[in-house]
Amino acid sequence: MTNVAIGLSQNLPNGRVMRAIVHEQDLVVWRSKSGVLSAWDNRCPHRGMRLSHGFVRGEALACVYHGWHYDKKATCRYIPAHPELEPPETIKAQQFRSMEKGGLIWVNIDDSSVEPSIDENLTPLRSISLSCPKKNVQTVIRSNDFSMFNGEQINCEIAEQNKEHWVINFKTPEASLHLFFQELPNHSCTIHTMLDGEHSAQTKKHMSHVLENLRRMAEKQYEVAAS
C-alpha cells in the first residue's frame, strides 16, 4: 500500500477534526491550533469512542466522551476526571504517517516512508463523494459517453492512468483535471480533484459540473450493473 489522498489541505483548517477511511482503517485526521497534522486510529483507548467526534484544544485532541487529551504524538496528557494525575505514557492512540504535499493530505497506513509523487504546482478544485466503486468511475471516463456533457461534445483525453491518480486533458476550456481516488467501504469512493495551475472561476465551475455529471453516470452504471 502506498500513500492515499484523503482530502484537500484547504478543507481541514487549523483546529478542525475529520474522519477518513483508508483500506478499511478508520482514522481520525486533525489539525492542531498551530497547524500540526495528525492521523490516528479512530478510537480512544479509554472507552473505544471514535476520536473523530472529538475537539481540538490548542495542540491537543480531546475525546468527546470523557475529555481525555492526546498530544501530537498521540500520548494521553490529561484526564479531566483526575486533573492532578499525570497519565502513564503507555496510554496512546495508534498513530499513522500523514503528510501534506501538493495541496492534498496523504495518509500511509503501512508505515513505509515513500513520499507521494505529485506535481506541486496543482491547485485544489474539490473533493467529490460517489456511491459507487472506483472502477465504475474509471469505466465511465474511458467510455465515449463521458465526453458528452449537457448535450455538448467535450473535447478531452485521458493523459495519465496510474492506479490512484488519473489526469484528463480538456481542450475547451483548456485545463488538466487531476483525479486522486480514495476507495471506501460499502462500494463507494471519494475523488479529490486538482487543476494544473491557476484557472478562472468559470473554468472551475465548468469542471465541477463535469465532475457532477461523472458522478451521476458512474452511480447509474453501478446501479444498472448491480441490479
Q: Write out the residues near other proteins by the rule CB under 8 A.
A: 23-26, 41-43, 45-50, 53, 64-67, 79-83, 85, 88, 90-94
Q: Pick between residue 50 and residue 72 the one whose CB is nearest to other proteins.
A: 50
Nearer to other proteins, 25 or 138 (CB): 25
Q: How far is the CB of 88 from other proteins (least distance, A)?
A: 5
- The nearest distance, CB 43 to other proteins, in angstroms, is 5
Closest approach, Cβ 63 to other proteins, in A, equals 8
Helix, strand or coil, per DSSP, at residue 219: helix
Of the pair 23, 33, the CB lying nearest other proteins is at 23
Which whole-number Å values give the CA distances from 51 to 11, 108, 161, 209, in the listed order? 19, 19, 35, 34
Q: Which is nearer to other proteins, 27 or 125 (CB)?
A: 27
Residue 92 carries which side chain, given as an amino acid letter? K
- Do 44 and 93 meet the contact criterion of CB atoms below 8 Å apart? yes
Looking at the Cβ atoms of 26 and 183, the one nearer to other proteins is 26
Q: Count Cβ atoms within 10 A of the Cβ of residue 70 and give its class: 0-12 exposed, 13-18 middle, 19 or more buried.
A: buried
- Considering beta carbons, is residue 82 or 163 the nearer one to other proteins? 82
Joined grid coordinates for residue 68: 481525555
Smallest separation, CB 55 to other proteins (Å) = 9
16, 31 Cβ separation under 8 angstroms? yes
The least CB distance from residue 54 to other proteins, in Å, is: 9
Letter for the amino acid at 179? Answer: L
CB of 131 to other proteins, least distance (A): 21
Extract the runs of DSSP E, i.e. beta strands, from 115-210.
Answer: 122-130, 148-149, 152-153, 156-161, 165-170, 175-184, 188-196
Helix (H, G, I), strand (E, B) or coil at 227: coil
Cell of 132: 459507487
Q: Least separation, in Å, of the C-beta of 64 and other proteins?
A: 6
Rounded Cα–Cα distance for residues 60 and 62 (Å): 6
Complex with other proteins: residue 64 or 99, whichever CB lies closer: 64
Distance CA(143)–CA(199), nearest Å, equals 26
